[in-house]
Amino acid sequence: VIKCKAAVMWEANKPFSIEEVEVAPPKEHEVRIKIMATGICRSDDHVITGALVMPFPIILGHEAAGVVESVGQGVTSFKPGDKVIPLFIPQCGECKSCLGTKGNLCNKNDLALGGGLMPDGTTRFTCKGKAIHHFLGTSTFTEYTVVHESAVAKIDSAAPLEKVCLIGCGFSTGYGAALQTAKVEPGSTCAVFGLGGVGLSVIIGCKVAGASRIIAVDINSDKFAKAKELGATDCVNPKDFQKPIHEVLMEMTGQGVDYSFEVIGRTDTMTAALACCQYNYGVSVIVGVPPAAQKITFDPMLLFTGRSWKGSVFGGWKSKDSVPKLVADYMNKKFVLDPLITHKLPFTKINEGFDLLRTGK
């Protein structure tokens, strides 16, 4: 058993509590990882506010990179010292999604179940004598974590962990939504709603795919400079207009965009993103985690004329196969990650990190 520091969320809508936790050794087919760097993602915050329902107490965090500390019985593909990225969408290699080419959402994922436990139904974390839940099979807001071997990818030993940790969620989610899910084509027009880390990664993906026009949409104009730096050709703040944003985008483009992306997780922007894409062959992709207990009402004529509405989890990438390749692409300078990193904080200042997230900084 390892004793270490972790940021425990005891109950909803409270700050993280830095506690000493006990991390059990890995069981059969499990890997214990020393976390070296972790990103903060809005999905973690959704659990705190109740928009994403998970059991408490819990150790959040799902976007990280680290080093294998030890492996459980039967683990052959990892050894202590390997550099790795935990995968919040596992790849078991046995279910229909893993075996087929159509999807990437492995049946062993905890996103749908929300059970907050390891695949065997137990936890590896204890604090003050209490069992602490895992989050999406990863739990990276801790110095050590235990993950199932299907939920970890070995990466290039030369990769800088404080940068490639973003490939564990935010970057891959946005980049893949453009390249894998929407399959953006050269010369096309795209609209991206929401310019956080994931939205900016969608812009990077659209640019790599060869889009000729990329319209960035956000109610925070402070985000526009970075969006332009990464490839946005136009920036639009809905607050600057009297009319609905989808009408503004229709006027800007004539017939609407070829591809739109909702990267916020709001139902009103999801319908706006659908309405702003070309009425016959436009594709709109939902990338932001939708809030619990909210429903969408929309005019079915929007779909009847031929538009496609899609969702994308982890950018459509098969996690175990794709993460090492994405790290290699980063090492080969196919894309940049530095502009996505706005602040670096010591682990004990995690609450300040979440304040920065909530204030759009």
Is this prediction's pTM over 0.85?
Answer: yes
Residue 207's pLDDT band (cuts 50, 70, 90): very high
Domain residue spans in the chain? 2-170+316-359, 183-311
Which listed CATH number (3.40.50.1000, 3.30.70.100, 3.30.2010.10, 3.90.180.10) goes with 2-170+316-359? 3.90.180.10
Residue 290's pLDDT band (cuts 50, 70, 90): confident
Residue tagged active-site, from 98, 106, 165, 169: 169
What pLDDT, in 10s, does the model give residues 263-274?
A: 999 999 999 999
Question: Domain 183-311 class?
Answer: alpha beta
Residue tagged active-site, from 4, 17, 29, 62: 62
276 is catalytic: no
Residue 110's pLDDT band (cuts 50, 70, 90): confident
312 is catalytic: no
The encoded tokens of residue 326 equal: 């994405």
41 is catalytic: yes
Residue tagged active-site, from 41, 92, 98, 277: 41
What pLDDT, in 10s, does the model give residues 329-356?
A: 999 999 999 999 999 999 999 999 999 9
Q: Is pLDDT above 90 for 187?
A: yes
What pLDDT, in 10s, does the model give residues 31-55?
A: 999 999 999 999 999 999 988 889 9
169 is catalytic: yes
165 is catalytic: no
What pLDDT, in 10s, does the model give residues 124-182?
A: 999 999 999 999 999 999 999 999 999 999 999 999 999 999 999 999 999 999 999 99
